[in-house]
Every structure is written in C-alpha cells, then in structure tokens.
Amino acid sequence: MIEAQRGDEAAFRLIYRTIQPGLLRYLRVLVGNDAEDVASEAWLQIARDLASFRGDFDGFRGWAATIARHRALDHLRRRTRRQRDDIPVEMVTTELAAPDDTAGGALEALSTEAAMHLIAGLPLDQAEAVLLRVVMGLDAKTAGRVLGKRAGAVRTAAHRGLRRLAEQLAERGITEAGRPEAGEHARSDSTRR
Amino acid sequence: MSTHRPRRIDRGEAERMLRGAPVNDGVGADPLADLLAAVAAPARGGELDGEEAAVAAFREVRLTHVTQPRRKPMINLMFAKLLTVKVAAMAAGATAVGGVAVAAGTGVLPIAGGGGSVAVSPTATPSAEVSIPAIPVPSAGASVSVSLLDLCHTYTAAAATDARTTLDSPNMRALVTAAGSADKVDAFCAKALQAETGTAATPGTTAGASGSAGPGGAGVGAQVPGAGAGASAGPDGAGPGVRVAPSAGVGASAGPGGAGVGAQVPGAGVGASVGQGGAGLGASAAPSVPR
C-alpha cells in the first residue's frame, strides 16, 4: 500500500489485481454490463487520489469501493437523465440489476457467473451488502460507511440476503451438499444441526 | 428435490460466512458457502483487462507529482499575492486532453493534491490548442487559469501606460513565466483574453503539441484554502481525462464529459465562467454534451 503511494508501479499493479475482480463484480450488480467502463473510471480516480489516501489496505478496499459506488451512481444518473427524467436512481438500479433468466440453468457448476446472477437477483440493498462483505472483503462497519448506513443495518441486509440465497438454492433442488449426487447423508447431517 | 427446506442460518453463522470463514467446520460442502466462494473466486479471463489503463493513469499522476514541487514556490507566491488582492473565491479552471474526457468528482472524495492549496498541472502553458468547432486555432486560452486571466486583465490595463514597468513587478512574474518571456506577454494575453469568451462557450479542447511533462494534459485549478475544493486535470494513457472539481463553498459537482473524438468538455466552460463570476457560484459540469 505504502509502496504504491510512493509511486511503486509494481505495488500498484498488485493492488489492482487484488481489488479489481471484486470491484468489477460489485459494479456488475449496480450497473450491469457497464461495469467495465465504470470500473475503469473508478481506477482513474483511484490512481489520481491514491497519494491522498490515508489508511491501511482494509481501509483502502473500503475507499476503493466508495469511489466505485459513486462512479456507478453517477453513471446511473447520467443514463437515467438520458432516458427518462425524474426516475429515482433506486428504481432504475433495481430494474437494471434484475436477474437474468438464464441464471437457473447454469447453477449446477456454481460458476462465478451463476453465483453472480443469483446475487444480482436479491433486493439491491441485500446484494450490495453481501458483495461488499464477501467480494470486497469489508467488515460490516466499513461496508456501512461505503453505503452510508450503520453497521447493524448492513449486517441485517447481508444476513437476509444470505438467507434468501439459501432458500433459492434449495428451491433449485440443490441439497445441503450442493451436488447432484448428494444423498441422504448430507441432509440428515444438516437436520441434526 | 424442491421438498428440501433450506437450513436456517443463524446470525453467527451468517457472519462467519460473510467473513469467508469455513462453515460446517470445513466438513461437507454447503451450497451457500460454495456460492459465496464462487463469487469471491480469483480473477477470471477479462476481468483484469483494464490493468494497463489503470497503470498508465497511475504513471501519469506520478509524473505530475514529480514535476509539481519545482513550481510550487512560484505558484505559492503568486497565489499569496492574489489572495491579498482580495480574491474571495476562485473557481476551478480545467482543460481536457484528447478526445476522451472522463470527468468526475462528487465533492465527497479527497481532491488530488491533498493539503496543498494549489494544484497546477505543469502544462498550463500556451501549449494547448483550442479548437473552436472543428477548426484548430492555436490559442493559449483553454489552459490559462483564471488567475492568469486576472493578471492579463491587469496587465492589459496597465500596459496602456507602461508595459515594461508593469511586467517587472513581482505580481506579474507568473504571467511572464506562463507566456515564456516578457516579449510574449502581449500575444499571450491577447490570445488568452480572446479565448476566454470562446472557452465559456464550451469549445472543444484538444491536446496540443506539448513537449513538457504530463503530455497534453493541462489543467489549472485554483483552490481557496479551507473551502476544500480544487481542480485537477490530468491525462492518462488510454483515455485522457479531466476532472473538474467544484468551486468554493458550494457543493457543486462535475460530471463526466463522456467520450468521443473531438469531444467538447463541459468542464472547460465552467472553469472560465465561474471564475469570472466569483464566489458562490455552484456550477455543475454535468454532461451537457450529449453524444
């Protein structure tokens, strides 16, 4: 972190490689297919403002997520203004983040893509909370700062999101063990718990 | 299979999962944990495509930072003088580079330059070109900061009586430096003042044949101490960008300029007009140019 702030390019690359996948996946839920564009806007700003950032790498992840989120909201506002006026950002966001119909089929493999589709199907606040925590690796407090909420609210949203995901996984016929061959063992194992 | 009921996840377990800790003591797969692991999986093909662009931006910023300190004393002096001449608020002037302008700034994030009260890109010289609708007209105007314009106004007024003496005064040193030499101040100011009007009408700004550091990028920003605003404009390799920060006092925001060859840059217009308007003008350089 410090190396990068001093201008070490290799350190910056390392940071990029560490953060970018999560950032991109988070943005995908916010802005869909424009995630790449918004991510590169975010990185421009991160590169520019890196020197003024104060904190450790945990803090940096939160900082980067905040920048990305702002860029995403800007992007949505811009797009909204171009399309229709006076539609709250939230509505558009929800609309855009609606899950793809293809989500179900690919789930068996539980690819990153399929998992993202499922999460994108959650209500936006839950999806954001889950992604910031799991993908960006933020704790509840930092995620709360990114979202402008209290840590408790983020925690609740994330928990609801997880519960909902678990329900969906079950509905889609994936058992406790998560594999088609999962048998009675896995199930009885879970009921014991 | 849909008869299976999902296992109830309690808060403690949810917390563990969110932290990425193994659930079920790591024994046996849990579909939800699998899902979370998949989402947090390492980069896949294409996800790191933007690396070079990001690194290029990083390198660019680095260049700017390296060259800045050298000019700082002069700049500080200049602003110290100007502030005593009751400059209440200065707006940010900004210029753009190339055809792509990525403007951003919500006012929430720290402005580049941090504690310094002044951020001036090293190429705030007549090396930029202003292209007024499609016809490139070499001009100093686009990248001349508000403060330099002020100096030009002062100079032009005083030059009517005695140009030589005027330029010798320390106040004018910045102007002479920007123009290149005392002889060139006349031409410099003529162009700058001429371009001032043009800039306010949002001409497209293109990168000039600048030989100095921070290729093509020219941004001049003024910042009022304590106001927490500022401007910085800097290019980056792939998509040169400009960021326009809001002027003092008002939570103005600058939106992205979008992309396109020969793009117009809203930020340029704002910088000039707000500067002349003085304090308290909330400008938004949001995308005024549809494309």
pLDDT of residue A91: 45
Mark yes or no for CB contact B14/A22 under 8 Å: no
Q: Find residues 22-51 of chain A whose CB sits inside 8 Å of chain B.
A: 22, 24-25, 36, 39-41, 43-51
Residue B24: CB atoms within 10 Å = 15
pLDDT of residue B8: 73
Residue range B164-173: mean pLDDT, rounded: 61
Q: Which residue has the tokens 């905040």?
A: A66
The residue that leads in pLDDT, B120 or B196, is: B196
The residue that leads in pLDDT, A93 or A56, is: A56
Residue range B251-266: mean pLDDT, rounded: 33
Q: Do B199 and B148 touch, CB atoms closer than 8 A?
A: no
In degrees rounded to 5, what are phi and psi of residue B137?
Answer: -120, 115
pLDDT of residue B175: 63
Residue B160: CB atoms within 10 Å = 9
Mark yes or no for CB contact B35/A115 under 8 Å: yes
Question: From the CA of A150, how many Å to the nearest CA of chain B?
Answer: 16
Mark yes or no for CB contact B31/A175 under 8 Å: yes
B49 contacts: CB under 8 Å, gap ≥ 6: A36
Q: Find residues 239-278 of chain B whose CB sits inside 8 Å of chain A.
A: 239, 241, 243, 255-256
pLDDT in tens, A68-92: 999 999 999 988 877 654 444 444 4
Q: Find residues 21-80 of chain B whose CB sits inside 8 Å of chain A.
A: 28-32, 34-36, 38-44, 47-51, 53-55, 57-62, 65
Query: Residue B234: beta bridge partners?
Result: B241
Residue range B38-55: mean pLDDT, rounded: 88
pLDDT of residue A108: 43
Mark yes or no for CB contact B290/A190 under 8 Å: no
Does residue B189 have a pLDDT over 50? yes
pLDDT of residue B203: 37
Residue range B252-266: mean pLDDT, rounded: 33
Please measure the distance between the N-terminal and C-terminal CA atoms of chain A and give it in whole angstroms: 42
pTM of the model: 0.47
In order of A58, A64, A70, A157, the CA distances from A143 in angstroms are 11, 11, 14, 11
Does residue B146 have a pLDDT over 90? no
The residue that leads in pLDDT, B287 or A36, is: A36
A49 vs B39, B44, B109: nearest CB = B109
Mark yes or no for CB contact A41/B104 under 8 Å: yes
Residue range B207-230: mean pLDDT, rounded: 33
Nearest CA in chain A to B102: A41
Does residue B120 have a pLDDT over 80? no
